[in-house]
Amino acid sequence: MNGKITIADLAEAKLGNRKISVVSCYDYTTAQLISQTDVEMIIVGDSAAQAVLGFDSTLPVTMDFMVAITAGVRRGATNVFLVADMPFLSYQVGRNEAIKNAGRFVVEAGVQMVKIEVNIAHLDVIKAVSDAGIAVMAHIGIKPQSIGKIGRFKAEATTAEMATELITLATKAVDAGANSLLIEGVAAEVAEIITKRSQVPVISCGSGVGCDGQVLIAPDILGLSHGRYPKFAKSYSNFAEATIEAIKKYSKEIKSGEFPDDGHSYHMKPGQLEQLQKLMKEHGFEF
């Protein structure tokens, strides 16, 4: 894929059985690095509440915060297909509010799609946002914004009855206008069935290999979560330990006077120190 990746490119990848790589990140610096890889999509997740702000759920992040960090990610990765999470209470309170907030992501942050955690009650929201000309990714399976209602998360669609309900929801979400699905924490067999039945790209978050693509958050990929990994996450490096060691070395050099050295310092132009000393003496300054 050349140039800026579009929704048409993702649809072609699905038709061509080419897997889609997705990373969830929250900042300009990481987005810049991702943009230099062959990752097709970035999702700016409301998981920033945990990964960036240290909360124990996704619920506290606001629209203003999400728009600000998403805009930063877009500036860092101008070529990648960009999706933004609609945070808690940004769409649940009504269709008009959902359209307004989804529109903010498009206008203020340059996203190409918004992600909405979906149950049957939100199908009208998908339709309203889609009818407004904004692409929607329907998030089904484990829905982190529902933590206050269910108390704890567990794998979804592990029984035939639960699987039937989820397959039905996926179908209805696409019928309502969803241009993509994200399936989180769902039995791999069921996620594969949904993917095969769906005409839109399906991204797995801990839902097995049978989907059109996979997503993990950047801190997990980089080994920055420091031991707090869900079952489905995989680390490809150990930047947590490397970061700790680098900061220890930095602190040690400060304390020993090794840093900053002359090469990391600015200096006055030749002869100006003597001129400064003369001026200070004229003004009665001690030095």
Q: Which helix (H) or strand (E) holds 44?
A: strand 41-44
Q: Note if 189 is an active site residue.
A: no
- Under 8 Å CB-to-CB from 232, ≥6 apart: which residues? 185, 205, 206, 207
Are both 158 and 256 inside the same structural domain?
Answer: no
Residues of the chain with pLDDT under 70: 1-2, 150-151, 226-228, 287
Same domain, 53 and 195: yes
Q: Are residues 212 and 246 in the same domain?
A: no
Catalytic site residue from 40, 184, 192, 286: 184
Q: Is 117 in the same domain as 199?
A: yes
Quick one: 95 and 143 in the same domain? Answer: yes
Q: Is 14 part of any domain?
A: yes
Tokens 């909405």, residue? 116
pLDDT value, residue 1: 47
Cβ neighbours of residue 231 closer than 8 Å, sequence gap 6 or more = 206
Domain that residue 93 falls in = 7-221
Q: Long-range CB contacts (< 8 A, 24+ apart) of 144-150?
A: 144/46, 144/47, 144/57, 144/58, 144/117, 144/184, 145/46, 145/58, 145/59, 145/87, 145/88, 145/117, 146/117, 147/57, 147/58, 147/59, 148/57, 148/59
Q: What is the pLDDT of residue 267?
A: 95
